[in-house]
Structure 1
Amino acid sequence: MKMTYTLTAPCHFGLEAVLKREITNLGYEIKAVDNGKVSFLGDAEAIARANLWLRTAERVLLEIGRFRATSYEELFQGTLALPFGDFLPKDGKFWVTKATSVDSKLFSPSDIQSVMKKAMVRSMERYYGAVPFLENGESFPFRVNIQKDMVTVLLDTSGISLHKRGYRTETARAPITETLAAALLLLTPWHADRILADPFCGSGTFLIEAAMMASNMAPGMNREFLSQTWEHLIPKKVWYRSFDEAQELLIPHPETDLQGFDIDGSVIRRAKINAEQAGVSELIHFQERDVSQFSHAKKYGFIVTNPPYGARLMGESGEEAGIAALYSTLGERFRALQDWSLYLITAFPDAEKCIGRKADKNRKIYNGMMKTYFYQFLGKKPPKREKRREKQGE
């Protein structure tokens, strides 16, 4: 009999709808959407497939239980009542790796972690008998979220955060995370048959994530996950089947046009190394070039970029005028293109003014703790795509 779990996938604040769509496309039922996370129902195979395929999630967490606690005694008793023995082997190494509290009476992370660890040990003693636990087996890190006095206990099935695909060993200054880059791309109407360029490509993250999408490459297929060692919960055959599925769905040589530029030649070299390690180097053209030289003869392309902004440059030069000039140049080059669309994420407050046009759409997104905006300047749709839509509507 297959066990159905409640699984929770955290994501960047403001991108819950993108993650929800990803989970639905995988075939799983959404249970709840909250700030910075989406919960859904799934079995052991769902844990494997979600870790492999979700491009915008930070982790896949398995919910152990929920209860209300306004005192440490209630926290202890509530934790003690949870069925940890159903999830942990006798020699499992377990701990509370992170505790967060919002609008709750219990707020000290270290105290929450300490009390819960004691209760977890007591729960395991009841399940396996009062024996000393060496905890020399596989690792089982737990995360605890307390919101308005409601405690949710979650088991981390991913281990290393899912934004670490394994390809980005070479980083440039202030890189955008892989999960955020993927989410922003999914917010655009870009498809593999359209031109995509990044004139401030840095580590190449936007372009590498786009190449993986064009190849239908599962973002986690070249890395490992902590729960691969939990054979009592997820049999090895489930992982083999999930990785085989990812391999079968891979598109080896997709037709796509991806171009990355940066003024710094050393940055371009690092981006090329990252693309090679991701297995998509033949799909991306990288070149050392200043944004003032950016041009393209074809129509209907996309610029998706993470240009420099104040928080990234002020520490070096303190010249906000230089940032404004950079955005003005980007705006000039964008206007010179025929029917292109421009998407950029930035914390620079005068971005629209310097680009020379009000954005058609503007989305607030938290990049870590920094509030940024995803400005969307929309170009015309290709005639073929418009005709296709008209035929579909007939």
Structure 2
Amino acid sequence: MEKITLIASTTMGLESIVAQELKKLGYKDINTLNGKVEFTGTYRDICKGNINLRCADRLYVKMGEFKATTQTELFDGIKNIGWEKIMPIDANFPISWISTVKSELNSERKSQASIKKAIATRLEEKYKTTELLERGAKYAVKVQINKNNVVVMIDTSGEGLNKRGYRAINNLASIKETLAAGLVLIARWDGYKPLIDPTCGTGTILIEAAMIARNIAPGANRKFESEKWDVIPSEFWIEERDEAYSREDNDKKIEIYGSDIDGEIIKVAKENAKLAGVEDDIVFEQRHLLEVENYIKAEKGTIICNPPYGERMGEKEDAIKTTRILGDVCRRFPKWNYYVISSLGADRHKNGIKFEEIFGQKFDKNRKLYNGGIMCYYYQFFGNRKNVFVKNRL
């Protein structure tokens, strides 16, 4: 079967996690870059990747890479790519995204026109036609131009891979599913100890955790744009979905608890869990943050949460107050691991606020991540250690 290069795009900070996912799926030729991970596969792996990857944003076929400083060089480079190997004569190929960074090709409009014309010219020559109707399947072309280096891709996913299909209400401000899965994987929670999110909101972190513990493939029950492509036999999709279903673990005993002060949000969380098929694995309750310890008795476990950031005017003080209370609550679980994603800074460079002085304890590790375009840190505190309190706590 023909080898192709695939690109899994990802939120900055999750590249290594996506690379680990790919290794677990059996891939070896993996190259981790900023915001994406490249790997070698086949057309069948388009199915496997879309169905199974938890933290990637989209999956692309890499069509080519070359240098270009002029529109003529861009046209020639695009025209030299073998588009006919993947696109049929009736392919719909919008040029849906062009990104340029420090490049001499700084006109998106001109570049988009050059790319469209070059692909059309190539297909017209190969199919011996003077008219391309573009009434067939969609092959959305994405182009990145960084320092005159051009990377050309086709989107295989359609809707982003975060679209699992379990959001009962889509317009609520919730953490992205792919990022939530990343938080769980970074925490290395595997389902054998209790997990709590005391600021759970609509339940995304806990739902992703339950799917990880059960080994439920995130894309098994949704459709992808490339399912309409002629180069991918329909049996590939059927077989990869069947393989994903066969790996599900329905026997593990899982303890997951989520609470939030907002009762209406808890109702949404329960509905989301039901749509995801994990409603029996998560206990959602309306509770104040300070009440968490009243219903958790295990000696060891994990807390993962995404408390309010207070990015809007007038909300910063509330976010600081919540973080301070969260620190007090977490220290009541001295042998637990706890993980907090927050836009409050690891140092004083952002708004003069230092997270550990609010939380009241020094973190063991942190990782820079982006949540909805907001730069955050994922603070990690490991159990079985002496509580290191911060002097002069805010």
- TM-score tier (shorter): over 0.9
Question: In the alignment, is the contact (CA less than 8 A) between 1:199 and 1:305 conserved in 2?
Answer: yes
Letter paired with 1:38: V
Q: Does 1:325 align with 2:305?
A: no
Q: Name the residue aligned to 2:249.
A: 251
For residues 171 and 129 of structure 1, what CA distance do their matches in structure 2 show?
46
Question: In the alignment, is the contact (CA less than 8 A) between 1:44 and 1:234 conserved in 2?
Answer: yes
Q: Name the residue aligned to 2:364.
A: 360
For residues 181 and 371 of structure 2, what CA distance do their matches in structure 1 show?
13
Question: In the alignment, is the contact (CA less than 8 A) between 1:172 and 1:202 conserved in 2?
Answer: no
- Quote the offset at 1:265 in angstroms: 0.4
Letter paired with 1:301: G
Work out the number of aligned pairs and report it. 375
Letter paired with 1:181: A
For residues 168 and 317 of structure 2, what CA distance do their matches in structure 1 show?
33
Q: Name the residue aligned to 1:137.
A: 136
For residues 323 and 86 of structure 1, what CA distance do their matches in structure 2 show?
53
Q: Name the residue aligned to 2:233.
A: 235
Letter paired with 2:35: G
Letter paired with 1:120: I
Q: Secondary structure at the match of 1:192?
A: coil
- Quote the offset at 1:83 in angstroms: 1.0
Question: In the alignment, is the contact (CA less than 8 A) between 1:7 and 1:63 conserved in 2?
Answer: yes
Q: Name the residue aligned to 1:4.
A: 3
Q: Name the residue aligned to 1:49.
A: 48
Question: In the alignment, is the contact (CA less than 8 A) between 2:310 and 2:317 conserved in 1?
Answer: no
Q: Does 1:301 align with 2:301?
A: yes
Q: Which moved more, 1:337-346 or 1:275-284?
A: 337-346
For residues 334 and 370 of structure 2, what CA distance do their matches in structure 1 show?
31
Letter paired with 1:303: I
Give the aligned CA root-mean-square deviation in angstroms.
1.4
Letter paired with 1:40: F
Q: Name the residue aligned to 2:388.
A: none
- Quote the offset at 1:175 in angstroms: 1.2
For residues 208 and 276 of structure 1, what CA distance do their matches in structure 2 show?
10
Question: In the alignment, is the contact (CA less than 8 A) between 1:324 and 1:354 conserved in 2?
Answer: yes
Q: Does 1:374 align with 2:372?
A: no
- Quote the offset at 1:250 in angstroms: 1.2
Q: Secondary structure at the match of 1:90?
A: coil
Q: Name the residue aligned to 1:339.
A: 335
Percent identity (aligned)? 39
For residues 319 and 3 of structure 1, what CA distance do their matches in structure 2 show?
54
**Structure 1 alignment gaps of length 5 or more:** 382-394
Question: In the alignment, is the contact (CA less than 8 A) between 2:29 and 2:40 conserved in 1?
Answer: yes
For residues 275 and 302 of structure 2, what CA distance do their matches in structure 1 show?
25
Letter paired with 1:336: R
Q: Name the residue aligned to 1:224.
A: 223
Q: 1:203 to 1:103 in 2, by over 3 A?
A: same
Letter paired with 1:288: Q
Question: In the alignment, is the contact (CA less than 8 A) between 1:32 and 1:38 conserved in 2?
Answer: yes
Question: In the alignment, is the contact (CA less than 8 A) between 1:140 and 1:156 conserved in 2?
Answer: yes
Q: How does 1:1-394 map to 2 (within 5 A)?
A: 2-171=1-170, 173-230=172-229, 232-295=230-293, 296-311=296-311, 314-315=312-313, 318-349=314-345, 350-380=354-384
- Quote the offset at 1:60 in angstroms: 0.9
Q: 1:11 to 1:195 in 2, by over 3 A?
A: same
Deviation string 1:190-214 (CA, Å, 9 cap, x unpaired) is: 1211111001111101100011011
Q: Secondary structure at the match of 2:94?
A: strand
Question: In the alignment, is the contact (CA less than 8 A) between 1:341 and 1:379 conserved in 2?
Answer: yes
- Quote the offset at 1:173 in angstroms: 4.8
Question: In the alignment, is the contact (CA less than 8 A) between 1:61 and 1:158 conserved in 2?
Answer: yes
For residues 303 and 196 of structure 2, what CA distance do their matches in structure 1 show?
5
- Quote the offset at 1:38 in angstroms: 0.4
Letter paired with 2:97: K
Q: 1:319 to 1:41 in 2, by over 3 A?
A: closer
Letter paired with 1:185: V
TM-score, normalised with respect to structure 1: 0.92
Q: Secondary structure at the match of 2:63?
A: strand
Letter paired with 1:377: F
- Quote the offset at 1:171 in angstroms: 4.9
**Structure 2 alignment gaps of length 5 or more:** 346-353, 386-394
- Quote the offset at 1:94 in angstroms: 0.7
Q: Secondary structure at the match of 2:139?
A: strand
For residues 88 and 172 of structure 1, what CA distance do their matches in structure 2 show?
35
- Quote the offset at 1:109 in angstroms: 2.4
Deviation string 1:162-206 (CA, Å, 9 cap, x unpaired) is: 011111132575311010011111111312111110011111011
Deviation string 1:232-276 (CA, Å, 9 cap, x unpaired) is: 211111111101101111122431100010000010000111100
- Quote the offset at 1:218 in angstroms: 0.4
- Quote the offset at 1:107 in angstroms: 2.1
Question: In the alignment, is the contact (CA less than 8 A) between 1:57 and 1:162 conserved in 2?
Answer: yes
For residues 204 and 358 of structure 1, what CA distance do their matches in structure 2 show?
27
Letter paired with 1:343: Y
Q: 1:131 to 1:171 in 2, by over 3 A?
A: closer
TM-score, normalised with respect to structure 2: 0.92
Letter paired with 2:51: L
- Quote the offset at 1:67 in angstroms: 1.5
- Quote the offset at 1:363 in angstroms: 1.0
Q: 1:374 to 1:236 in 2, by over 3 A?
A: same
